[in-house]
Amino acid sequence: FNLSVMDGFSHKEIANELGISESTSRSQLVCARRVLKKHLNELGITRYEQVI
């Protein structure tokens, strides 16, 4: 999440740096966003579409 969203790296750059495939980078980002949304919802925060 951080490398992609916060630091602006492409999935190709992330894959090269971490030794994973680009598709793994993409799927991990999807999972991270899902977990983040779940935690935000648990805290009662529902206006997050523009943030994540």
What residue ranges do the domains of the chain occupy?
A: 2-42
Evaluate if residue 49 carries a pLDDT over 80. no
Per DSSP, helices labelled H in the chain are: 11-18, 22-42
Query: If you average pLDDT over residues 4-23, what whole number do you get?
Result: 96
Q: Which SS3 state, helix, strand or coil, does residue 46 take?
A: coil
8 A C-beta contact, residue 21 and residue 15: yes
Cα–Cα distance measured from residue 52 to residue 48, given in angstroms and rounded to the nearest whole number? 6
What pLDDT is attached to residue 51?
63
46 band by pLDDT with thresholds 50, 70 and 90: confident
pTM, rounded to two decimals: 0.80
